[in-house]
Amino acid sequence: MDQQVDVVVVGGGSTGCGVVRDLARRGLDAVLVEKGNLTHGTTGRMHGLLHSGGRYAVSDQKSAKECIEENRVLRDIAAHCVEETGGMFVKRPEDSEEYFQEKLEGCRACDIPVEVLDGEEARRREPYLARDVEKAIALPDGAIDPFRLCVSNAADAREHGARIETHAPVTDVLVEDGEVVGVEVEHESGPGKRVHREPGTTEEIRARHVVNATGAWAGNVGEMAGVDVEVRPSKGVMTVMNTRQVDTVINRCRPKGDADIVVPHETACILGTTDEEVDDPEDYPEEDWEVDLMIETLSELVPALKDARTLRSFWGVRPLYEPPGTGTEDPTDITRDYFLLDHGERDDLPGMTTIVGGKLTTYRMMAESISDHVCDTLGHEATCDTAEAPLPGSESDARMEELMDEFGLRSPVARRSGQRLGSRADDVLGEYDPNPVVCECEGVTRAEVQDAIDDAGSDLNAVRLRTRASMGNCQGGFCTHRIAAELAQEYPESVVRDAEDELYQERWKGQRHALWGRQLSQAMLNHLLHATTMNRDGDPANLDSEVDFGAFDAGSPGGPAGASEGGESGTAAADGGRATDDATTDGGRAADDATTDGGR
């Protein structure tokens, strides 16, 4: 059945989720359509830095001021998505003193609170900083969880009457008499419990206004409407280390450059990044030199990174936008500001507005400005309250101590569970007694996994994003089967096995870029556990045969073979034995570390 609404928002990243929340809270009838799951695009593939604005304090003070303003708002309304790590811009001997002073003055001019630390004090706060770090500027950078943030926004939108439709790509923008009047979506089957329209069916959603919030894909949706949106997608790599070598966001204090930030995130650290223009946001090379660059360059700031265990690497694509005719050659020079393109004014095509550029940190502000614009266009009078209204789940962490006693969990598990679940922690964790830990690396308990299954159904990747289960050192080697087993009460065996394979394959994808040292040992151990011990490749035991590393890449559920292409079976078996010990010991230790002292 086709639907007529006030506004269709296309794109379920931070921008789209923020926009649909804002519009719904202002009383408009809104629908969000997303081709994948929420955070399927860039929002699910970024550092998770809650900018203080320090990064832009010299080059782009408008952005810097927006960042510090929104940084304060998000700490307030989305406390359960934010970790207040603090940040530092550190200066090494070869970095310019003049630039250090400019950064300091820039921060002050943008109302970013700063403190200058000498090298000794910086190292006292972050003991793994290099000995030759001379000084640092401390400021309020933080870490933000984009998955929880988007889900909270979408949930709030739904509570205010919006429809959230995932796995529903827009295939056409409806234009009638020179005006956009809606979109056509194709319904696909999304995994999980969420009720989707019948797969393969098409729906016209007619609307008084369409918001194109598709980020790096905005040009494609523009094209469907017959207008040019000059997005310049720029890829960046991020490399995940197994523990928190630092607890503070560490930035290099220099004008610009690749590999200049380390963001602590949950039990890991994320190193970033590069900035390279690509033609297609879905299809670009993922190159090993980018990963090497992260580790080599950032080891200058935190030498422990050089020998640390690398878990995986992933890439994201910035939705940079340049007004026509600007012609900037170097993508690092393209502004990080956001742009609102009113296609009525710009292209004589009323009924649609595009929002591009910006940062996750400023998503709420972007959403407010586009919602103001939509309300003006529709003649709808309502004020924005998203800067004051807390997101669902963010009310308070105050019951943390109580939770630790109440559930008999070790404190970091309770802390993380409490942070992840926000105000729902009490209800969710109280559901199970006993409540065993299902994923040791990330300290995720059965209650949390079951709660995520209630929400996401059999889609274990969605369960992963909600809970972080399988995102630690073992990358699912020790826990995918346990997580899958949690499905068994409700789902038939075939669904459970498929869900397990899907999760395991997803974890393997990123590990391909981290196959050396201990992570290679872990990958081999995972393979041996899953293919051999659990016999998930369904292979009758044949000790003389070569390990079929190719099978995993081809989709066999056996485990992450391909770890050592061309490796001899004898080597694999012998190394595998040793590796098993190493990885087991290390995995166990790391898991303990992670659950007892915050993962450092």
Ligand X SMILES: Cc1cc2nc3c(=O)[nH]c(=O)nc-3n(C[C@H](O)[C@H](O)[C@H](O)COP(=O)(O)OP(=O)(O)OC[C@H]3O[C@@H](n4cnc5c(N)ncnc54)[C@H](O)[C@@H]3O)c2cc1C
Residues forming the site for ligand X (CB under 6 A): 10-16, 33-36, 40-43, 46-49, 51, 169-170, 213-217, 221, 236, 238, 272-273, 316-319, 358-361
Judged by CB, which is closer to ligand X: 299, or 361? 361
Nearer Cβ to ligand X (320/469)? 320
> What b/e readout covers 361-374, taking b as 16+ CB neighbours within 10 angstroms?
bbbbbbbbbbbbbb
Q: Using N-to-C axis directions, what is the helix angle for 14-25 and 146-159, rounded to 10°? A: 20
CA dihedral 389, 393, 397, 402 (to 10 degrees): 140
Amino acid, single-letter form, for residue 547: V
Task: Work out how close the CB of 164 gets to ligand X at its nearest, in angstroms, rounded to a whole number.
Answer: 12
214 or 417: CB nearest ligand X: 214
Task: Tell me whether residue 13 or residue 393 sits nearer to ligand X (CB atom).
Answer: 13
Q: Which CB atom, from 11 or from 393, has the smaller least distance to ligand X?
A: 11
Closer CB to ligand X, residue 9 or residue 523?
9
CA 310, distance to chain mean position in Å, is 18
By beta-carbon proximity to ligand X, the closer residue of 141 and 586 is: 141
- Closest separation in Å from C-beta 220 to ligand X: 6
Cβ partners under 8 Å of residue 494, min gap 6: none
* Nearest CB to ligand X, comparing residues 49 and 438: 49
CA dihedral (363, 368, 371, 373) in degrees, to 10, reads -110
By beta-carbon proximity to ligand X, the closer residue of 81 and 563 is: 81
- Minimal distance, residue 287 CB to ligand X, in Å: 14
State the nearest-atom distance from the C-beta of 290 to ligand X, in Å.
Answer: 11
Strands 268-272 and 352-357: unpaired
Nearer to ligand X, 361 or 505 (CB): 361
Residue with tokens 């003049």: 98
SS (H, E, C) 274-340: CCEECCECCECCCCHHHHHHHHHHHCCCCCHHHHCCEEEEEEEEEEEECCCCCCCCCHHHCCCCEEE
> Rounded to the nearest whole angstrom, what is the least distance from the CB of residue 64 to ligand X in the complex?
12
Distance of CA 439 to the CA centre of its chain: 19
Q: Cis ω on the peptide bond leading into residue 273 (within 30° of 0)?
A: yes
Q: Please, what is the minimum distance in Å from the beta carbon of residue 34 to ligand X?
A: 5
Give 41 or 87: the residue with its C-beta nearer to ligand X: 41
3-state secondary structure of 374: helix
Q: At closest approach, how far in Å is the CB of 575 from ligand X?
A: 34
Strand 3-10 versus strand 30-33 pairing type: parallel
Question: What does the buried/exposed string (b/e) look like for 15-37 if buried means 16 or more CB atoms within 10 Å of the residue's CB?
Answer: bbbbbbbbbbbbebbbbbbbbeb
State the pairing for strand pair 135-139/179-186: unpaired
- Smallest distance from the beta carbon of 516 to ligand X, in angstroms? 22
Q: Which is nearer to ligand X, 99 or 284 (CB)?
A: 284
Query: Closest approach of Cβ 224 to ligand X, in Å?
Result: 8
Taking the C-alpha atoms of residue 155 and residue 169, their distance in angstroms, rounded to an integer, is: 20
Name the minimum Å distance from CB 536 to ligand X.
31
- The alpha-carbon radius of gyration of the chain (Å, integer) is 24
| Nearest residue (beta carbon) to ligand X | 13
**Least separation in angstroms between CB 105 and ligand X:** 23
3-state secondary structure of 569: helix
Q: Are 126 and 248 in contact (CB under 8 A)?
A: yes
Going 368 to 352 to 145 to 297, the CA torsion angle's sign is: negative
What distance in Å separates the CA atoms of residue 344 and residue 351, rounded to the nearest whole number? Answer: 7
> Left if phi > 0, otherwise alpha if psi is -120 to 50, otherwise beta: which for 115?
beta
User: Please, what is the minimum distance in Å from the beta carbon of residue 445 to ligand X?
Assistant: 28
